[in-house]
Amino acid sequence: MTAPLPSAEELRELAARDGIDAATERLYRRVLESPIHGPFIRRVDELRAEPASAKWNCGAVLAIVPGASYRESPRTGADGRLVREQAERMGIPTELVPLATTGTVKENARILCDWLMSQPDRPVILASVSKGGSDIKTALAEPDAEPAFRNVVAWLSLCGILDGTPLIDWLLSPSPGAGAVRLYYRLRGKSLEFFRELRYHCGGPLDRPLRLPSHIRLISVVGFPLREHLARRSSRNCHERLASLGPNDGALVLADVCSLPGLIYPVWGTDHYLQPKGGAGALVRGILRYLDETLGE
């Protein structure tokens, strides 16, 4: 029988003893060998290698739940363009959930629940990007989550920040670099309140278990980078700041992602923004085709 995935404590100890890259490689191999995640990964790899199909059988609409600053900074991919483009090539109807671009998780959770309640009676697949995952997690804890999510059949989380990120403590620190980032937002009239909500293990709104209904299938896509993969200076710096916590993508602690319910697709060699993006489009297409062939089972 294949051993379970290593715990967060094991990974921290391994990183301290053998280095962050060795710990990342160990976790990546374990995910690939997992009897839960391995068959899913192999099937997606088969489907992503096939030509795009224009036929969408399950009849679901794909609802994009965007990340922070998706209107101001679409180049980051926070607007879900990658997912939307692949879906449209496959003939999948898409919608963009109109979240507040720098809204708090509570504000956006309310927008999401209201949007879901207003939709026609049809299956919905949510596709969230980064902080969009925080908004969905918060929405699932709302009092009216059960009726709001009744038609949601799957959730594709791309690098979702579901438990917060340790980077926020750095961002709110006296560090000159952190101060420059805060100043950047202030000069553009943007509130930093939503950053504070993303603090890691601090009793905030994300410091709670994910309440995932049994009828929703969760697929988490997350980068598994080594130091050598991080070509951008900002990505290297973020990765290094989290190294003491074990394998990470520059924003998320990978052990946290691996403890979530559902399935994981680890993307080797990419950071939190799935950079470099080589093959990301084919991967999304493979996952959508996987959902299409399995949702009716």
Task: Please answer whether residues 122 and 58 qualify as being in contact, where contact means their C-beta atoms are separated by less than 8 angstroms.
Answer: no
Q: What percent of the chain has pLDDT over 90?
A: 67
Specify the residue for token string 């391995």. Answer: 38
Higher pLDDT, 277 or 115: 115
183 part of a folded domain: no
Query: Is 201 domain-assigned?
Result: no
| Average pLDDT of the segment spanning 58-87 | 85
Query: Is 204 inside any structural domain?
Result: no
250 part of a folded domain? yes
Model confidence, pTM:
0.93
Encode pLDDT of 261-297 as tens digits.
Answer: 999 999 999 998 888 766 888 999 999 999 999 986 6
Record the tokens describing residue 200, joined without a space. Answer: 């890691």
Give the per-residue pLDDT at 74: 67
- Total domains present in the chain: 1
**For position 1, what pLDDT does the model report?**
43
Query: Is residue 1 in some structural domain?
Result: no
Asked if residue 202 is part of any domain, the answer here is: no
- The average confidence (pLDDT) of the chain is 90
Range of the domain at 13: 8-163+210-294
Whole-Å CA distances, 170 to 30, 182, 243: 30, 11, 13
Note the pLDDT of residue 195: 78
| Amino acid 52: pLDDT | 65
Q: What CATH number did the domain enclosing 98 receive? A: 3.40.50.1820
Q: pLDDT class for 28, splitting at 50, 70, 90?
A: very high
Q: In this structure, is residue 191 part of a structural domain?
A: no
Give the model confidence (pLDDT) of 143-195 as tens digits: 999 999 999 999 999 999 999 999 998 888 888 888 888 887 777 766 677 77
Q: Is 15 left (phi over 0), alpha (psi -120 to 50) or beta?
A: alpha
Considering the chain, what percentage of its residues have pLDDT values greater than 70? Answer: 94
The verdict on residue 168 lying in a domain is no
